[in-house]
Amino acid sequence: MITRTATIASSVGLHARPAAIFAKAAADTDLDITISLGDEEADAASVLEVMTLGAKHGDEVTLSCEDDGAEAALDSLVDLLGRDLDKE
């Protein structure tokens, strides 16, 4: 399993627009990626599941994937979460 840690930079956290941008990017990878906050896990490609996590600005989330070729995709998603997606 490959994992990466990211800090949520969006001022509103992973709510509405930032969650939709992130979920679309995760879905576009065609990989089964999980995002977790504490003990809660969500399918990274599901806007509703991502929003349900309730990740706020500054929270640290973990992205994980079982696919050995997922390094670049996870790195890209970490970079995405490191930007204020509500302003893009």
- Residues catalogued as catalytic: 15
Q: List the domains of the chain with CATH numbers.
A: 2-87 (3.30.1340.10)
In this prediction, residue 68 carries a pLDDT of 85
The predicted structure's pLDDT at residue 56: 96
- Per-residue pLDDT of 22-71, as tens digits, reads 999 999 999 999 999 999 999 999 999 999 999 999 999 999 999 988 99
Give residue 33's pLDDT. Answer: 97
Cα–Cα distance for residue pair 86/88, rounded to 1 Å: 6
How far is 58 from 40, CA to CA, in rounded Å?
Answer: 17
